[in-house]
Chains A and B, each alone.
Chain A
Amino acid sequence: MKILTEHESKKLLTEYGIPVTREAVARSREAALMLAREIGFPVAMKIASPDIMHKHAAGCVLLDVGAQDVGAAFDTIIERAKKHAPDARIDGVLVQEMVPRGTEIVIGIKCDSQFGHAVMFGLGGVFVEVLDDVSFRIVPLTKRDAIEMTEEIRGHSILAGCDVGAIVDAILKVSEMAAKENILELDINPLIACERGVVAVDASATIGDPPHNTRRLYVPYR
C-alpha cells in the first residue's frame, strides 16, 4: 500500500484527462518565485511531503500569496512542517494556481469487498463528512449512472450554476481510472465546479500492493 502525495495523485488524474490545477514542486525560495511568476499571481502554496496528509491541520497551506510574499511563505511552510512532523520527508513546496470561486464537490473511489470499486460523488470541501451528502455507484459506471448521482444528492440544486456536463465527465473518468488502476481509496476534494469546466484542487490516492497480490475484482458477466 502506498499513499500518493497531492502532486503525484494529480499526475494520475491528468493521465485520465481530469483537469487539475497548474502546479509544480519548488525546492527553494528562488524556484518557488520563478514558478509563481510562470503560473501567475496570486498563488496557493502547500507543503509537498509524503508524510503529511493533513496539510491544512499542520498549517502548511497558504492561499492568495502575492509576488512579494512568496519567499516568506516558502520559509513559513517548511518551518511549520518541520515543527508539525520533525521526521517527515519533505519534497519541497507545491506552488499552485489559485482557482476562481466555484462549487466545491468531492469525487472519490473506495474498494469494497463485495462489489469491487465504488465511485462516490457529493458536496465537497472541508465539511464533506458533516454535509454527508454523497452518492455511490459501482464501477464501471454508465453516463446515466453519473448523471443520476448528480441528481440524487440532497443538495443537487447547489449544482445549478455549474458545468454539470464537466462533472459527469469527471465522474466517468474516475470510474475508468478505478477500473484500470489498483486504487484502494481516492479523494478528489475539492473538485471545483465552475460555470465552465471543473478543476481538481486537492487529491489524495492510496494505491494497493503490486498486481501479484491483488484479486481481479471485476469479472464481467458473459
Chain B
Amino acid sequence: MHITPMLSKVLEPDSIAVIGASSNREKWGYRILDNILSGGYSGAVYPVNPNEDAVLGLRCYPSVLDIPHRVDLGIIAVPAEIVPAVLKACGRKDARGVVIVSAGFSEVGNRELENKVRDIARDYEMRMIGPNTFGFINTHLNLNASIIPQMPETGGISFVTQSGTFGLALVDWAASQQMGLHLVLGVGNKADVDDSDILAYLSPDRHTKTIMMYIEGIKRGRRFIDVASRIRKPVIALKTGRSRAGSKAALSHTGSLAGTDRIYDGAFKQAGVIRAGTIEELFDSALALSITPPAGCGIGIISNGGGAAILAADLCEDLGLNLPDMSERTVRMLKGVLPAIATPANPLDTAGYASYKMFRDVTDIMLSDPGIHALLVIYVHAEMVDPCLPAEAVIDASERCDKPVLTSWIGGKDIGTAVKLLEENRIPNYPLPERAVVALNNLVRYKRISQKR
C-alpha cells in the first residue's frame, strides 16, 4: 500500500476546487473559500457551484469537470445527498483526494451513504478525509482549508483531532494560545483516511516535530500500534471515554477486568504513544515536546521562592521524577554565587534573589551538573524585580545547552513581557509550576520511549 504519496497531494495540494463555494456568508462553502484566499495560499483555487458565476472575485465553474486545469484536491461542502455525484465528478477529474466537510453520514446513522461515498472514492483511487470534518490547515503552505476562523502560528506540532464541535473549539483555542502548529486536521468520520493513515503520512513529514492527537475511538487498532510504534517523533494523545469497567457478561476475570480504557492504555504503551489525561496536559506537553529535546530522569529545580520550588518538587515525587543530589563541584560553585542564607540543594531556593546575574549563574551551574538532565526554573514575581531580567538569564543560559529547560513565571500582568520573551525564545513557559512538571514528566517519558526504538 502506498498511502503516503497520495495523502501528500491531498494535504499539500498545488490546486484546489471548493465544491459548494458560495457567496452566502452563512455557508461553509463561503467560509472555507474565504479562509483559503485570505490565508495567503499560493496554489490555484477554483470555486465550483452551478448556481453562481463568481464567488469572492473568482470565476465559478458549474462542475469540477469544467475546470480547464488539473485539480489535486476537492473540498466538498454540499448537502450530503449530492456528495456521491460530486465525488464521482472529482474522480473523473482525476483529483488525488477529497475532503468532505458535509455532515449527514454515519454520525446521524446514515452508514449506507457513508459506505457509498467511501466506495466511490476507492473506485477512483482517491483518498478521502471525512465526511463530517472541519477540514485542515497546513500553516507551511499558508493553507487554511477549513472552517476555523484563524490561522495558527507556524510551528512543529501537527494536531489530529476527531471532529465535532469540541474538536473545532480545541483547534481555535490552540491557535489563540500561540501554539506553533504545522498541520491541523479533523479526521471526521474516518470513512477512508483514519488515524493510522495520518500517522504514516506525518512520520516522515519534515515540518512535523510532534504529533498531538485528540481521539474518541480508533478503528483498526492493531494497525495503529504498528504504524505509531515506527514513528521517530513524539506522539501524544488524549483518548476520551475512560470507563474502566469491562463487559458485564464476561466469562472470565480477564473479561471483566478488560475495560476499553485499559486496552487503550496497553495499546498506547505498545505504540509508544504518550497518553495525556487532560486537555491541559496534552497541550502543555506537546508544546514542550515540539521545542525542546527529551529529558533524562534527573530533574533540577530553581526558584527565587522556596514555596513554589517545594510545590514543584512534591509533584515530581508523585510522578516518580528524580531530583538528584548535586555533585560536590556543583555545590561548591553554587556556594560561591548564592547569598549566605541560601542552601545549595536541589530544589534550589535563591532566597528571593532574582537578578540577571543570580539566575544566570545558578542556571549555568545546575545545567553543568552531570546528574541533572533537565531544569525547571520558577520565577515568583516580586514588586521590585523586572521579571524580564531573570527571563533573559534563563534564555542566555539555555542557549548553549542541549538539556531541556522549562520555566514557570508566576505573577499577574506585570510578567506579560517576560512571558512573551520566553515564548519567543522557544522556552516552554507555564503559568503554574505544576503544569511545567507535568510537561517535564512527558519529556522524560518520551526519552524512555525513544530509547526503546
With the chains together, A219 CA to B452 CA distance in Å?
24
* Residues from 125 to 153 in B contacting A, C-beta threshold 8 Å: none
Q: Which chain B residues lie closer than 8 Å to A20 at the CB level?
A: none
B12 to chain A, nearest CB (A): 23
Nearest CB on B from A165, distance (A): 19
Q: How far is the CA of A138 from the CA of B229 in the complex (A)?
A: 13
Which of chain A's residues has its CB closest to B269's CB?
A148
Say if the beta carbon of B262 comes within 8 Å of chain A. Answer: yes
Bound complex: CA of A6 vs CA of B217, how far in Å?
Answer: 36
- Which of A22-30, A40-48, A65-73, A181-189 is near enough to bind chain B? A181-189
A138 touching B223, Cβ below 8 Å: no
Q: Let me know if B221 and A112 touch, CB within 8 A.
A: yes
A222 within 8 A of B: yes
Q: What 1/0 flags go to B219-248 for Cβ under 8 Å of A?
A: 111110111000000000000000000100
CB of A116 within 8 A of CB of B222, answer: yes
B221 near A128 (CB under 8 angstroms)? no
Tell whether, in the assembled complex, residue B266 and residue A106 are in contact, meaning their CB atoms are under 8 Å apart.
no
In the complex with contacts A118-B263, A136-B263, A108-B222 CB distance below 8 A? no
Do the beta carbons of A138 and B221 come within 8 Å of each other?
Answer: yes
CA distance A26 to B14 in the complex (A): 77
**Majority DSSP secondary structure for residues of A touching B:** strand
Instruction: Please pick, from A3, A106, A219, A221, the residue contacting B254 in the complex, using a CB distance under 8 A.
Output: A106
Q: Are A138 and B270 in contact (CB under 8 A)?
A: yes
Nearest Cβ in chain A — how far from B421, in angstroms? 40
Which residue in chain A gives the minimum CB-CB distance to B226?
Answer: A221
Judging by beta carbons under 8 Å apart, are B266 and A135 in contact? yes
Q: How many residues of chain A get a CB closer than 8 Å to chain B's CBs?
A: 38
Cβ-based interface call for A109 (8 A): yes
> Is there contact, CB below 8 Å, between B227 and A115?
no
**Interface bits B247-282 vs A (CB < 8 Å: 1, else 0):** 000111111111010110111011000000000000
Among residues of B, the one whose C-beta sits closest to the C-beta of A144 is: B452
Q: Count the B residues whose beta carbon is within 8 Å of the partner chain — how many? A: 31
Residue from B252, B253, B258 having most chain A Cβ neighbours under 10 A: B252
Say yes or no: B258 contacts A112, CB within 8 Å: yes
Establish whether residues A114 and B258, one from each chain, have CB atoms under 8 Å apart when the complex forms: no
CB of A21 within 8 Å of the partner chain: no
Q: Judge whether A186 and B269 touch: CB under 8 Å.
A: no
> A137-B269, A138-B221 given as contacts; is B251 within 8 A of A3 (CB)?
yes
Most buried by B among A114, A129, A186, A220: A114
Contacts of A138 in B (CB 8 A): 221-222, 225, 263, 266-267, 270
A76 at the interface (CB under 8 A from B): no
Please classify the interface of chain B as helix (H, G, I), strand (E, B), loop, or mixed, using the class held by over half of its residues: helix
A135 CA to B223 CA, complexed, in Å = 20
Contact B270 A108 (CB under 8 A): no
Flag A144-167 by CB within 8 Å of B: 1 or 0 each.
Answer: 110010001000000000000000
For the complex, is B89 an interface residue (Cβ under 8 Å from A)?
no
A173 at the interface (CB under 8 A from B): no
Instruction: Enumerate chain B residues within 8 angstroms of A132, measured Cβ to Cβ.
Output: 257
Taking the complex as formed, is A36 at the interface, i.e. its CB lies under 8 A from any CB of chain B?
no
Contact B269 A114 (CB under 8 A): no
Q: Which residue of A lies closest to B200 (CB)?
A: A221
Is residue B384 contacting chain A, with contact meaning CB distance below 8 A?
A: no
- C-alpha gap A7/B221 in the complex (Å): 33
- Closest residue of A by beta carbon distance from B254: A108
- Residue A11 interfacial (CB < 8 Å): no
Q: Does A193 contact B (CB under 8 A)?
A: no
B108: chain A residues within 8 A (beta carbon): none
Cβ of B67 within 8 Å of any chain A Cβ, yes or no, is no
Q: Check if A115 sits within 8 Å of B251, measured CB to CB.
A: no
Within 8 A of B (CB), among A117-146: 118, 120, 122, 128-129, 132, 134-138, 141, 144-145
Q: Who on chain B is nearest to A126 by CB?
A: B253
Contact yes or no, A185 B221, CB < 8 A: no
B254 pairs with A187, CB closer than 8 A: yes
4 more A-B contacts (CB under 8 A) besides A106-B253, A114-B217, A141-B270?
Answer: A3-B251, A110-B254, A112-B221, A152-B269
Question: Which residues on A are within 8 Å of B, measured CB to CB?
Answer: 3, 106, 108-110, 112, 114-116, 118, 120, 122, 128-129, 132, 134-138, 141, 144-145, 148, 152, 184-187, 189, 204, 206, 217-222
Q: Which B residues have a C-beta under 8 Å from some C-beta of A?
A: 1, 196, 217-223, 225-227, 246, 250-258, 260, 262-263, 265-267, 269-270, 452
| 10 residue pairs bridging A and B, Cβ less than 8 Å apart | A108-B257, A110-B252, A112-B221, A112-B260, A112-B263, A135-B262, A136-B267, A185-B254, A219-B220, A222-B1
Instruction: Name the 3 nearest CB pairs between A and B, nearest first.
Output: A108-B254, A115-B221, A136-B266
